[in-house]
Structure 1
């Protein structure tokens, strides 16, 4: 079958190990299902896989793509839930110590077919296209959990999204606006800030700018470059929800502000199958159109990977069949 895969780890030149070509058709273990992929989206995780981060050398070659949408053999349209957990685990699968993501141990979605446990094929609601569904499983699911499960925000409260154009950030803007939050966003460039406004932000600011007031929650995926600003932006008793640290993992903690103003810092990673199902229903019912910055046929995947590596896109990158 046709696939886009990492031939081997390459820490210094990840695109050198990106391969577009043929791979064997997958076998279907008991309790798993075969999905004919119609669309798959690109995540930073795929670049980390190409670099050999979070994956053992013996796992290569590895088909890329955490996220995707497709059809079962009976024609049912489904969205992939990318967390593969221990079958004996009960409860929140994001806390399962044996959990793994697609492309870490199991082959990914950038191929004609993928096999996943039956529970990881979540029915796609009407009103969402395959390309839109393909962006839901990582960035949008992460944003949904941050906002609705972790933050404690109520409609009408004010949220600040640090960084305007990434997949999680654009999802937070669109979800927050649809849920009735007042959405503020920071961005490094005018182009990125304009995108946030187009997606529904009520106000946009340059990175690190003094804000007109304090916010109830800050959504962080940047880390060191924005952390001090995030701490200063919060009202007493406010919360930072953090899902990543793209600019560095060692921010100045500002502990005096943390305890004196009784701030909360909450970590958040991915989401559960139920949260994905709820996200899909919310997006369909609210008529949200996820921001897709670049859509290409799978055969042109190298162009999409290069755009992500160079930071040339706003919104998600999707490959279609």
Structure 2
């Protein structure tokens, strides 16, 4: 079958190891199902895979991709939940399973004609969402939903700062926060991205690092090193910082520890989300009419163009591949 896969790793030139070609049909273990992929979306995780992060040499070749929407064996339109928990895990929150993995880490990913997943890992796709829109949800949008409403505990009327407007998670945070009744502040180095964030629903937009006119209840932090101290300084007493990434690095020169303990700030990590949260997210979009921001839709055989755009940062929203 057609697929986009990693044949080798390169930390400095990740796309050099990517191949667009043919792979064998996926295995279907007991209790798993095959989904015919109609659309799949690109994440930073896919670039990290090509750099050799989270995957071992002996697992190559590996089909990349975490996110997909398609049709299952019974003809149902579904969204694929990409967190694969260990068969022996009995907890309610599979993101807390120490043996969990994502598609394209231990199991073949979604940038292919077909993908296999445990039957429990498919969630019904609302008819109101296109396959392209639904394919944006399982990683970036689910991450944003959990950051805001589960880990961050945000509620209507709260003021939230989103660092680094423009990426898939950031645009999801803006849209979901606005739909959830929050006041949304954003930062970006680029004037064009600040303007687009305002058009998307942000109330105020500032240059990266600019002092805000007021402190905020919560900060959604995906940038890391470049914005960390600004995030800490932007929080009110007792405020919450939710972190889910460090695209600019993970070693700030000043962690703001004195401010953290003196102001009793909460710093909370967040990773992906549960199947139940994915179902709640799809229901929220179905009810509110909020839709993912899609930067571009490309045929899967043009995947290299999408990867190049993500590597350069030349995006506002999600890259989606279709079959």
Both structures adopt the same fold (TM-score exceeding 0.5) = yes
- Aligned partner of residue 237 in structure 1, secondary structure: strand
Q: Which residue of 2 aligns with 1:241?
A: 242
- TM superposition shift of 1:130: 0.4
The aligned residue for residue 200 of structure 1 is 201
The CA distance in 2 between the partners of 1:223 and 1:12, in whole Å, is 20
CA distance in 2, matches of 1:60, 1:25: 15
How far off is 1:304 after superposition?
0.7
The C-alpha deviation readout for 1:81-100, integer Å capped at 9, x for no partner, is: 00111111122111101101
Corresponding residue for residue 260 of structure 2: 258
| Residue pairs, 1:2-151, within 5 angstroms | 2-91=2-91, 92-151=93-152
Provide the C-alpha distance between the structure 2 equivalents of 1:9 and 1:44, rounded to a whole number of angstroms: 15
Structure 1 residue 11 displacement after superposition = 2.1
The separation in 2 between residues aligned to 1:54 and 1:150, in whole angstroms, is 24
Counterpart secondary structure, 1:170: helix
Displacement after TM superposition at 1:27 (Å): 2.2
Instruction: State the distance in 2 between where 1:213 and 1:206 align.
Output: 15
TM-score by length of 1: 0.98
1:12 Cα deviation from its structure 2 partner:
2.1
Instruction: State the Cα RMSD in Å.
Output: 0.8
SS in 1 for 2:68: strand
**Could you give the per-residue CA deviations for residues 23-48 of structure 1, whole angstroms, max 9, x where no partner exists?**
11112111000100000001111111
Q: Distance in 2 between matches of 1:262 and 1:152?
A: 16
Measured in 2, the distance between the counterparts of 1:229 and 1:50 equals 31
Number of matched pairs: 321
The structural deviation recorded for 1:224 is 1.1
Which whole-Å CA distance do the structure 2 matches of 1:14 and 1:260 have between them? 43
Cα deviation 1:38-72 (Å, max 9, x = unaligned): 00001111111111111010110011110000001
Q: Post-superposition shift, 1:73? A: 2.1
Shift of 1:144: 0.4
Three-state SS of the structure 2 residue aligned to 1:27 is coil
Alignment of 1:210-221 (within 5 A): 210-221=211-222
CA distance in 2, matches of 1:11, 1:152: 36
How many angstroms apart in 2 are the aligned matches of 1:255 and 1:14?
35
Is residue 281 from structure 1 mapped to residue 280 from structure 2 by the alignment? no
Which 5+ residue runs of structure 1 have no aligned equivalent?
Answer: none
Aligned twin of 1:272? 274
Shift of 1:250: 1.5
Q: Secondary structure at the match of 1:67?
A: coil
| Structure 1 position 118, deviation (Å) | 0.3
Deviation at 1:9, TM superposition (A): 1.5
